Amino acid sequence: WMIANGGLNLVTADGKLHTDDPAVKQACVKALVSLATPFKQGYVPPGCVNWNDADDNNAFHSKLMVMDFDGTISTEVALLSMGRKDDFEDVLTHGLPLSNDGKELPSQVALFGPVIPKGAKNVEVAKEFVKYMIQPKVLNEYLKGGLGRWALPIPEMVKSDPFWLKDDPHRSAYIEQSVIKPTVPIYEAYNPAIAQVGSEHVFMTAIFDYLNNGIAPEPAIDKAFKRAEEIFAKYPIQQA
C-alpha cells in the first residue's frame, strides 16, 4: 500500500531511512487510511486484530472475506490439500494492480537460504548438501514438490518448464509477479533495523492508534516515524 502511494523509498539501498521525505510521509498516511477504512466500514472480519500468520488463509477458506493479499500461493495450495478442488478452480489469483499513477508496481521479494549453525558436527557434509540443493535442476524439482508455493528465482528455468507458467493459473500469476515482472528487495535486505520495526509492530500500532485511540492519521504516522528513527539509529550502515 505504501509503495502504491509513492513510498518506495522509505528505506533505500544505502540502508538509510527516509522519514524526512514528504512523499514517503504522504504515502504512509494514505496507506494507513486505505488499510484502516475497510476495517472501519465492516468489510474486514473484526477478529483480524488477533490473527496469527495463517488466519488470513483460514478466513478466506471459511469465506469470511472475498480477497486475501498473500506473499505466496499457500492460500490456493491449501485448498487442494483440503480436497476442495471446486473451490481451487473457482478462486482467481491476480498480480498487483497498477499504482495510483497508473504505473506497474514492483513486487517486494524475499529470498530464503540455508544456514549451517556454528559448532555443527558435520559442517563439510552440510556444505556438500547445500551445494547439491542449490543446483538449478535440483532446486527446481524440490520447489515443484511443494506445488510451487515458493517461487523458483531463475527466470530462464521458469520460462522453460511448463509447470511454472502453463500448468496452473494460480501458479502462473504468482510466478509472473514474483519472477518475470519488476521486483525490489524487501527492506530487510538494506538494513536489519526494519526487521525490529516490524517485530515491534510500529506501523501496525499507528493503524491501531487511528482506529481505537482517536489519533488522526498524520500524527499517528509521526509517532511511528519517531520510533522507527530511534531504531534505525542503532543500526548505522557503513558505506564502501
Burial class (CB in 10 A: 0-12, 13-18, 19+), 128: exposed
Cα–Cα distance measured from residue 149 to residue 174, given in angstroms and rounded to the nearest whole number:
9
Is 215 part of a structural domain of the chain?
A: yes
pLDDT of 240 > 70? The answer is: no
Is 196 part of a structural domain of the chain?
A: yes
pTM of the model: 0.87
Cα–Cα distance measured from residue 224 to residue 25, given in angstroms and rounded to the nearest whole number:
11
What value does the CA radius of gyration of the chain take, rounded to a whole number of Å?
A: 20
Write down the pLDDT at residue 99: 83
How many domains does the structure of the chain reveal? 1
Of 84, 77, 32, 17, residue with least CA distance to 231? 17
Q: What is the pLDDT of residues 43-95, one digit of tens each?
A: 888 888 889 889 999 999 999 989 998 888 999 999 988 999 899 999 999 98
| Amino acid residing at 124 | E
Write down the pLDDT at residue 91: 94
pLDDT of 182 > 90? The answer is: yes
Helix (H, G, I), strand (E, B) or coil at 90: helix
Is 130 part of a structural domain of the chain?
A: no
- What residue spans of the chain are helical by DSSP H? 22-40, 55-61, 74-81, 85-90, 123-133, 136-145, 155-160, 162-165, 169-175, 193-199, 202-212, 217-232
Is 157 part of a structural domain of the chain?
A: no
Domain that holds residue 18: 8-106+182-232
Is 141 part of a structural domain of the chain?
A: no
φ/ψ of 11, rounded to 5, equals -130, 130
Contact 29, 217 (CB under 8 A): yes
Is 135 part of a structural domain of the chain?
A: no
Is 14 part of a structural domain of the chain?
A: yes
| Percent of the chain surpassing pLDDT 70 | 100
Is 90 part of a structural domain of the chain?
A: yes
